[in-house]
Amino acid sequence: MIYIADPNPWLAMYAQPLHTRLTPPTADLQDFLSEYGLTHGLPEKVSLDASIDWQDTLAQALAPLPESLLDTLEKSILGIFFAKGLDASGFTDMAALGDGSNNIGFVIVLDSQAFSQPSANAWASWKENSAFIADPQVQINVEIATPENDHRIQALRFLLLHEFGHILATMTDLCPQDWSFTLPKLAGHFSKLSWQTSGSKAIRPEQNFPHREKISFYRQPTLHASQALDLYRDLARTSFPTLYASMDVQEDFAECFATYVHTELLGQPYHMQVTIDGNPVYRSDDFWASARASEKKRYMRNLLEALAHNNASHTFQGLAPFLRMSLNGADLRSHAQSLLVQANQDQENAILWMNLATGFLCLKMRDMGLAIQEQALSLQRLYRRPANCQPPRFRLLMIMTPGDLSENTPIDCLLENSPVELLYYYASVEQPLPSPMPEHDAVMVALSDSQANRALLLAVQASLLDHARPVINPPHLLPNVNRDQLSELLQGISGLDMPRTHRLTRSQVVTRLSMQRPAEATDHDALPSLPLIIRPVGSQAGNDLARITQTAELADYLKQVQSTAFFVSRFVDYSSQDGQFRKYRIAMLRGQPFICHMAISSDWMVHYVNAGMYDSADKRAEEGAFMQNFASFAARHQSALAAIYQRLQLDYLCIDCAETKDGKLLVFEIDHIMAVHAMDSASLFPFKAGQIAKLQQAFEQYLYALQPQPLLESA
């Protein structure tokens, strides 16, 4: 604990940007460092180092980090200071009033001498080797940076992430008793993943390995480098990402956080290699892509989601975090209630109102959600969902329509934690595009082609005619996915079956019913023969969808559903030999198919959420096997899928489909507004994240290819 005599100059530092908080305002920190050196028996006096200006380097190190993380750190870190003689890379401690009555924030102290290493990989290797008594025949190298990023900034960023992890531990069950601070409790129960939660939080037996208790970094190592190979092989059987993480629960959390953000969010490597007598004998795996990381990966992902929620007052959330909370059983209602309290205290905060609207819509409180959304849009119509790095690699302007969650393409569910910044503009007929136009690299028309949106789509289409940036899913192509128009477009394709959809008024349905004559092939308005499928025009998600097998059933249906227009089509029995119905959701990106999920149900009307996929291990196993072998399905239906893309010409769309008994691709619905995500429990669905990651990566690469390429300079 660092005790501060006069807190006022320290508290004033919170008004400065984090990367400028480099000079302690009083001598309290130097006094602490002097005592620190004595108590730790360091050979040299520990002193603050002002010989190098770290401001620009620190700014560059912080820039790519998620905005919600930086927001939390801005409110809790008094300063990041550099010192000489720590004999370690750095430490984090709590600063408190001199009488210990109140904590005022965190102080991070880094050893400037650690960064005398020529590169990030050299620094990481130096740190790793400090745990061993050197042996000239054994080399231990750690890679934390690609060649183009192998510089001091990367080393600083990685070290900071570790220290930030110690700060975030104060929001969990690991908060040290002396470190309590006015930060929200966002997550807990990390310790039980590798440690015993009773008593001293000793390591769980299955996570232990020989010589672990002898590990010591930086000073007086007791392990010989000749033991490294066995040590790292043992480590690879645990859920620790690094050797440093295995020392205690606090370092486990800090290393997990640092390596997760470093590899999963920032896309940088983390590998350790042992070389003996010049021969590589061991190279570590990609921890966060391995099965042993699954529980901690979910924890870290949820922690970052919780940080984003905590940042909801000034960061537009989109649908993704709310959907994740809903799917994982979080208390969405209490979260919405908390947002409502904040909104009432900050009634001019449009972002807060819009986040609240999404929460209520996810709770199926539609009228309340739409009313709150209207309040938000009366304040502003353009919202920014930040990328996971700054500056973002790509800025995508989404043209949206006000309304329920099913009205727009939920692309943020696919592009979670990506380098893509999403700019949501809620268009109106009077102003179909934002003015002034924000900086962006491409436009995606996200609103559905419902009857209510027709005038808006025409206005957007006219505004985009001479637009200088690429347009994804342009408005004039969106009517192609309407049920009746889609069924016309997809007729006559070899290997594809889409029953012709008839749009009939209520009176036409009644007339055809009363006439009781067989439908003729040339009569496109004719009612199909029984059994048939009927639904109101404009209904989604199976609402008021029915299979009619007898004339009396149709009469009863019309009594119950008071719609003026209906879609009617023939029913196709697509059950498999075991009597189960299997429905697939496929995303198509410029004609390339990606599997999103498969649902198995005894009911012909298959919805993933009520098909029993969460309750049946057998169904999940079959879905996993199908997704792993999706290439064979795609190959069987290659010509049909190619024809869909050729006829619809939409760069991004989703298909709900099945296979008929004679092996054709049976298309139920195609749209660009279906949800695609990897938010289901990784323990229940370990096969999903990897499949959706393929689509996410392909979508990101598709976006990057839209950016104009720089002209090559002539020789």
Question: Average pLDDT, stretch 323-333?
Answer: 78
**Is residue 402 predicted with pLDDT exceeding 50?**
yes
In the numeric block, which tokens belong to residue 689?
Answer: 């994240």
Lowest mean pLDDT among 297-306, 368-377, 494-503, 706-715: 706-715
Top-confidence residue, 346 or 320: 320
The predicted structure's pLDDT at residue 125 = 96
DSSP E strands in 537-661: the ranges are 546-548, 565-570, 581-589, 592-601, 652-659
- Residue 702 exposed, middle or buried by CB count within 10 Å (0-12, 13-18, 19+): middle
Residue identified by tokens 């049909």 is: 640
The model's pTM is 0.63
**Is residue 27 predicted with pLDDT exceeding 90?**
yes
The span from the first CA to the last CA of the chain, in angstroms, equals 60
Lowest mean pLDDT among 149-163, 393-407, 441-455, 560-574: 560-574
In three-state secondary structure terms, 662 is coil
- The helix/strand count (H/E) of the chain reads as 22, 24
**Is residue 516 predicted with pLDDT exceeding 80?**
no
Question: Average pLDDT, stretch 76-92?
Answer: 92
The predicted structure's pLDDT at residue 339 = 78
**Is residue 518 predicted with pLDDT exceeding 60?**
no
Question: Average pLDDT, stretch 233-257?
Answer: 96
In three-state secondary structure terms, 385 is strand
Alpha helices in 130-261 (DSSP H): 152-168, 228-235, 249-260
Q: Which residues pair with 657 in a beta bridge?
A: 584, 667
Q: Which long-range contacts (CB under 8 A, 24 or more apart) does 144-152 make?
A: 144/120, 144/262, 144/268, 144/269, 144/270, 145/119, 145/120, 145/121, 145/268, 145/269, 146/268, 146/269, 149/120, 149/268, 150/119, 150/120, 150/121, 151/119, 151/120, 152/57, 152/115, 152/119, 152/120
Residues 536 and 525 sit within 8 Å (Cβ to Cβ): no
Rg (Cα) of the chain, in Å, rounded? Answer: 30
Among 293, 92, 298, 343, residue whose Cα is nearest residue 187? 298
Report residue 521's pLDDT band, with 50, 70 and 90 as the boundaries: very low
Residues 81 and 109 sit within 8 Å (Cβ to Cβ): yes
**Is residue 68 predicted with pLDDT exceeding 90?**
no
**Is residue 166 predicted with pLDDT exceeding 60?**
yes
Residue identified by tokens 């019309």 is: 558
Average pLDDT of the chain? 89
Among 664, 648, 657, residue whose Cα is nearest residue 482? 648
Residues 602 and 578 sit within 8 Å (Cβ to Cβ): no
**Is residue 598 predicted with pLDDT exceeding 90?**
yes
Residues 259 and 267 sit within 8 Å (Cβ to Cβ): no
Q: What is the DSSP string of 486-547?
A: HHHHTTT-TTEE-PPPEEEEHHHHHHHHHH--PPPTT-TTSPPPSSEEEEETT--TTTT-EE
Question: Average pLDDT, stretch 126-144?
Answer: 95
Among 489, 487, 480, residue whose Cα is nearest residue 502? 487
Give 486-504 pLDDT, tens digit per residue. 989 999 999 999 998 888 8
- Taking the C-alpha atoms of residue 601 and residue 607, their distance in angstroms, rounded to an integer, is 8
**Is residue 713 predicted with pLDDT exceeding 70?**
no
Residue identified by tokens 């399905």 is: 633
- Taking the C-alpha atoms of residue 607 and residue 126, their distance in angstroms, rounded to an integer, is 54
**Is residue 341 predicted with pLDDT exceeding 80?**
no
The predicted structure's pLDDT at residue 513 = 57
- Dihedral sign, Cα of residue 484, residue 488, residue 491, residue 493: negative
Torsions phi, psi for 329 (to 5 deg) = 75, 20
Among 660, 490, 674, 661, residue whose Cα is nearest residue 596? 674
- Dihedral sign, Cα of residue 147, residue 148, residue 149, residue 152: positive
User: What's the farthest any 2 CA atoms get from each other in the chain?
Assistant: 101
Top-confidence residue, 102 or 298: 298
DSSP E strands in 159-266: the ranges are 223-224
Question: Average pLDDT, stretch 320-339?
Answer: 79
The predicted structure's pLDDT at residue 529 = 78
In the numeric block, which tokens belong to residue 121?
Answer: 């990989």
**Is residue 519 predicted with pLDDT exceeding 50?**
no
**Is residue 527 predicted with pLDDT exceeding 80?**
no
Residues 290 and 284 sit within 8 Å (Cβ to Cβ): no
Report residue 715's pLDDT band, with 50, 70 and 90 as the boundaries: very low
**Is residue 20 predicted with pLDDT exceeding 60?**
yes
- Taking the C-alpha atoms of residue 32 and residue 4, their distance in angstroms, rounded to an integer, is 10
The predicted structure's pLDDT at residue 183 = 73
**Is residue 424 predicted with pLDDT exceeding 80?**
yes
For β-strands 103-111 and 90-97, DSSP reports them as antiparallel
Give 192-213 pLDDT, tens digit per residue. 899 986 655 689 999 999 999 9
In three-state secondary structure terms, 419 is coil
Highest average pLDDT, of 112-116, 334-338, 357-361, 675-679, comes from: 357-361
The predicted structure's pLDDT at residue 712 = 52
- Dihedral sign, Cα of residue 597, residue 598, residue 601, residue 604: positive
- Taking the C-alpha atoms of residue 66 and residue 64, their distance in angstroms, rounded to an integer, is 7
For β-strands 271-276 and 382-385, DSSP reports them as unpaired
In three-state secondary structure terms, 371 is helix
In the numeric block, which tokens belong to residue 615?
Answer: 């309750």
Neighbours of 147 (CB within 10 A): 8
Give 249-271 pLDDT, tens digit per residue. 999 999 999 999 999 999 999 99
**Is residue 546 predicted with pLDDT exceeding 70?**
yes
- Taking the C-alpha atoms of residue 4 and residue 11, their distance in angstroms, rounded to an integer, is 11
Lowest mean pLDDT among 134-148, 219-233, 338-352: 338-352
